[in-house]
Amino acid sequence: MDSKKVRQPDSFIRRVLIVEATTIGFGILIWVAITLRALLLDILISLILAIVVDPLVRLVTKAHIRRSIAVVIVVLFGLSAISFLLYIFTKPLYSAGLTFSRELPSLVSQAQNGTGRIGALIRSLHIETYVSQNSTRMTSLLSNFTGPVLTATRTVLSGITGFVTIALLAVFILLEGPSIFAGILTLMRYDDASLLLRTVKQSRKAIAGYVLGNIATSLIAGIVVGITLSILGVPFVLLLALWVGLVDLLPLVGGLLAGVPTVAVALLHSPIAALVTAAVFIAYQQVENHILNPVIMGKTVKLNPLWILVSVLVGVDLAGFLGALIGIPVAAIIQVFSVELWKFFQERKLLPD
Region of 352 please: left (phi>0), alpha (psi -120 to 50) or beta. beta
Whether this model's pTM surpasses 0.95: no
Region of 351 please: left (phi>0), alpha (psi -120 to 50) or beta. beta
Give Cα 312 distance to the centre of its chain.
10
Q: Which residues contact residue 181 at a Cβ distance below 8 angstroms, ignoring those fewer than 6 apart?
A: 200
Choose among 189, 215, 186: nearest CA to 292.
215
The CA distance from 317 to 161, in Å, is 21
Whether the per-residue pLDDT at 104 is higher than 60: the answer is: no
Exposed, middle or buried by CB within 10 Å (0-12, 13-18, 19+), for 277? buried
Can you give the pLDDT at residue 105?
61
Q: What is the mean predicted confidence (pLDDT) over 35-62? A: 83
The pLDDT tens digits of the residues spanning 222-237 come to: 899 989 999 988 888 8
Can you give the pLDDT at residue 31?
84
The CA distance from 82 to 145, in Å, is 29
What are the structural domain ranges in the chain?
A: 1-35, 41-177, 188-353
